[in-house]
């Protein structure tokens, strides 16, 4: 954000993308950006999720929002 504000316009994302994380995943942001540019299906497209057990309401809503934003659907009872 700081670079965009200094340039007074959007700047390329690539130099700021995280290449790995503490869980051993690599190039997640880059792969997601490239998939979006290619109009590829969303990460969870065609997948259905069901939550079993007890979840804190706010936590469950957050997970449901993430799943639907990534193209997945939530199975109700």
Instruction: Return mean pLDDT, the chain.
Output: 91
Examine the pLDDT at 77 and tell me if it is beyond 90: no
Examine the pLDDT at 76 and tell me if it is beyond 90: no
What local confidence, expressed as pLDDT, does residue 62 receive? 94
Please name the residues in contact with 57: beta carbons below 8 A apart, sequence gap of 6 or more.
none
Split at pLDDT 50, 70, 90, the class of 25 is: confident
Distance between CA atoms of residues 76 and 46, nearest Å: 16
> pLDDT for 46-69, tens place per residue?
999 999 888 888 899 999 999 999
């Amino acid at each position: 954000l700081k670079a965009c504000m200094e340039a007074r316009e959007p700047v390329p994302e690539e130099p700021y993308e995280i290449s790995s994380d503490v869980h051993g995943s690599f190039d997640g942001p880059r792969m997601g950006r490239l998939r979006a540019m290619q109009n590829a299906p969303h990460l969870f497209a065609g997948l259905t999720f069901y939550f079993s057990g007890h979840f804190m309401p706010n936590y469950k809503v957050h997970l449901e929002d993430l799943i639907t934003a990534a193209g997945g659907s939530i199975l109700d009872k």
